[in-house]
Amino acid sequence: MPTLPWTVPNTPPTGAEATVFASRFETRTLWGALKFFLRTPKIWRQVGSAPGAYGATLKAKPLQRTFWTLSVWESPQALKDFASSAPHRPLADGLRDQMKDSEFLTWKASTDELPLAWKDVLPRFR
């Protein structure tokens, strides 16, 4: 699973401002990467039906123990509602002790720019 393709749960309106969320996770061990990998399908299904989700993708390098997520939301509240609901919240909490490092980025973008490309997003990480 190197990269999950961009998926559009809800068609965004033209010319609207959206909230972009990107994350990078590095697990401590390959076991942690396997746990992350095995939990991904449940969260991916959740994103696919999440209110306010305009798009999402995931990039994985499990043997390097590194995963990136990229999602676009109608509002910061839509993102917060997703992140705090099940199955995302309990699955994410259950992975906390597996993480060596993580980084989270948010910014605004126009829905006219969607889908976002990894080549434009990855340089934003340190």
Domains and CATH numbers, the chain: 3-124 (3.30.70.100)
DSSP annotation string for 64-77? GTEEEEEEEESSHH
Q: How many CB atoms lie within 10 A of CB 11?
A: 10
Structure tokens at 66: 């590194």
Mean pLDDT of the chain, nearest integer: 96
pLDDT band (50, 70, 90) for residue 64: very high
What's the whole-number mean pLDDT along residues 31-40? 93
CA atoms within a 13 Å half-sphere pointing along the CA-CB vector of 4: 20
How many CB atoms neighbour CB 68 within 10 A? 19
Cβ–Cβ < 8 Å for 93, 70:
no
In this structure, is the dihedral angle defined by the CA atoms of residues 73, 76, 80 and 83, taken in order, positive or negative?
positive
Q: pLDDT per residue over 72-119, tens digit each?
A: 999 999 999 999 999 999 999 999 999 999 999 999 999 999 999 999
What mean pLDDT is predicted for residues 19-47? 95
What is this structure's pTM?
0.94
